[in-house]
Amino acid sequence: MNKKILEKPAINNGLSNIEYKKIHQKNAIIEYLYKMGPTSNPDIARYTKMSSPTITKLVQELIDLGIIIDMGVGESIGGRKPNLFGINPNARYIVGVDIDCRMVKLGIFNLANEAVSEIVTYFGNVKDKNKMFTELFSRLDDLLENSHLNKEAFLGIGVSIPGLINSKTGQTYKDVRIDEKTLEELFRDHYKLPVIMDSDSRVMAIGEQAFGFAKNKKDVLCLNICDGIGLGMILNGSVYHGKSGLAGEFGHINVVKDGNLCTCGKYGCLETVASGTALIEQAQQGIKKGNASLISEIVNDNLDDIHVSDIIEAVNKGDIFAIEIINKLGHFLGEAMASLVHIFNPEMIIIGGKVALAEDYLINPIQNTLNKYTISHIKKDTIVVTSELEERVKLLGSVAMVMNQVFDESVEDLKFL
Ligand SMILES: [Zn+2]
């Protein structure tokens, strides 16, 4: 890690060049401590290229502001024992919002990425947008009020939204408008805080990069399999967006000739055979045709009320029919993933979302199909795993998304100081 301190002149913020430089220097110290944990003056000097007396002075100012904590004397690696400094985890807070196709999760996190509020989880359908956002704001208002935290201590709000495209309007949920306002404007106007939004599969990739299996890896693909199928791509260490931010619509590649109608308006997309929605339809149709399955018992014969979690429960209890439909889904997915392996030569593919909770029952058919359809010496580079962060990944990813922006020099309106 090496950081260059910007020395560009202050524009429109009334700060002199010296004051501006000092704030950048302090932000660099904060970033280093946030990312590396407790560390000493010489380590900070190596990273920031600042002199030791400058660091001592700035660190003391940050201690006075309550942002840095003097943690006392650490272990010696030869010579004098160093004094360690760490970030005060409760100096700032971030709001994480994960809007799934059917579930919404909200939480307040500190700088140690720990939840400092309860994680509010409830059913919310994105298809009824007005109702959805009215309820979301009401619940988030309550969460913030009950936290009794100072509004000034919040850095921003990270929001993960479904990357689905409305087949009629071509709009993604990101550019949906309510009362002429974009979702971002709605959040900003209501909370007067910076808001960072991205599609759920990219937020998953950001979460995996910050806290999961993708940490310290440069080329990782993240497949988010919920109602639809999204692809978050970490390419050469960065999350890839594409020209208009619509990269990763992996669920809409055509895999079945003359197949079923998809939510995007086309026929035979991968989503129609390998998503959570497709899995539920296959369970309903199979049981109606007379297949015996534990799924019927789990939902008390109410086939309209089958959720992916019910199918996974049956799979884990060894139900043959449930295992067969997951197996079939895995084969379709594996066929499509073979193209990803050939094109991207990824180090790892992480499968997340509700369907990933089937773990080995999903990974095994994917592996078998990849073995069949990929060139072996490309395939051997790629590890396929299910996410260890499971259902938390997008909430954690939304927090990481805000922190990435805080420490991004090119972002002007979201700074630590
Ligand atoms: Zn489609």
Q: Which of 328, 386, 333, 332 is nearest to 357 (CA)?
A: 386
pLDDT in tens, 393-409: 999 999 999 999 999 87
Give 196's strand partners.
158
Is pLDDT above 80 for 103? yes
How far apart (Å, rounded) are the C-alpha atoms in residues 331 and 338? 11
**The pLDDT value given to residue 9:** 47
Token pair in block for residue 152? 């000034």
- Number of CB atoms found within 10 A of residue 219's CB: 17
The neighbour count for residue 292, using CB atoms within 10 Å, is: 12
pLDDT of 174 reads 66
Please tell me the distance from the alpha carbon of residue 248 to that of residue 229, in angstroms, as a whole number.
Answer: 9
Average pLDDT (55-75) is 91
Buried-state track 268-291, b at ≥16 Cβ within 10 A, e below 16: bbbbbbbbbbbbbbbbeebbeeeb
pLDDT of residue 66: 95
C-alpha–C-alpha distance, residues 60 and 78, integer Å = 25
Q: If you average pLDDT over residues 33-58, what whole number do you get?
A: 92
Classify domain 93-204+394-406 by CATH number.
Answer: 3.30.420.40
Residue pLDDT, tens place only, 107-139:
999 999 999 999 999 988 777 888 888 999 999
Residue type, 187: F
Task: Read off the pLDDT of each residue in 144-157 and give the average, rounded to a whole number.
Answer: 95
Answer for the pair 113, 399: CB distance below 8 angstroms, yes or no. Answer: yes
Q: Which of 265, 284, 270 is nearest to 224 (CA)?
A: 270
Instruction: Output phi, psi for 77, to 5 deg.
Output: -110, 35
The answer to whether residue 55 scores a pLDDT higher than 70 is: yes
User: What's the pLDDT at 128?
Assistant: 80
Residue 167 has pLDDT above 70, yes or no: no
What is the phi/psi pair of residue 229, to 5°? -130, 120
Residue 259 has pLDDT above 80, yes or no: yes
pLDDT tens digits for 215-228? 999 999 999 998 89
pLDDT above 60 for 7: no
**C-alpha 35 – ligand 1 centre gap (Å):** 39
* CATH class of the domain defined by 213-388: alpha beta
pLDDT over 80 (residue 175): no
CA 333 to ligand 1 center in whole angstroms? 15
Residue 285 amino acid letter: Q
304-321 burial code (b ≥16 CB/10 A, e <16): eebbbebbbbbbeeebeb
Q: What are the sequence ranges of the domains in the chain?
A: 17-87, 93-204+394-406, 213-388
**Tokens 């059913």, residue?**
123
Token digits for 146? 């009950």
Rounded distance from Cα 203 to ligand 1 centre (Å)? 21
Range list of β-strands (E), 154-208: 154-161, 177-178, 181-182, 195-199
3-state secondary structure labels for all residues of 305-347 = HCCHHHHHHHHHCCCHHHHHHHHHHHHHHHHHHHHHHHHHCCC
| pLDDT at position 109 | 97
What distance in angstroms lies between residue 134's CA and the mean position of ligand 1's atoms?
Answer: 29
CATH architecture of 17-87: Orthogonal Bundle (1.10)
Indicate if 213-388 has the same CATH topology as 17-87. Answer: no
pLDDT at residue 222, rounded to an integer = 98
Given a cut of 60, is residue 70 above it in pLDDT?
Answer: yes
Q: Is the pLDDT of residue 1 over 60?
A: no
pLDDT band at residue 162 under the 50/70/90 scheme = confident
Q: How far is the CA of 244 from the centre of ligand 1 (A)?
A: 18
167 CA to centre of ligand 1 in angstroms: 9
What is the predicted pLDDT for the residue at 76?
64
Write out the residues surrounding ion ligand 1, Cβ under 5 A: 252, 262, 264, 266, 269
| pLDDT of 353 higher than 60 | yes
Integer angstrom CA distances of residue 126 from 102, 165, 280, 323, 354: 7, 12, 19, 30, 17
Query: Cα(273)–Cα(255) distance, rounded to whole angstroms?
Result: 9
Q: Which of 120, 42, 49 is nearest to 84 (CA)?
A: 42
Q: What is the pLDDT of residue 232?
A: 96
- In this prediction, residue 10 carries a pLDDT of 44
Cα 211 to averaged position of ligand 1 atoms, centre (Å): 31
Residue 348: pLDDT band (50, 70, 90) is very high
Ligand 1 centroid vs 262 CA: distance in angstroms? 5
Residue 173: pLDDT over 90 = no
- pLDDT at position 142: 97
pLDDT of residue 177: 78
325 φ, ψ (degrees, to nearest 5): -75, -30
Q: How confident is the model at residue 264 (pLDDT cuts 50, 70, 90)?
A: confident
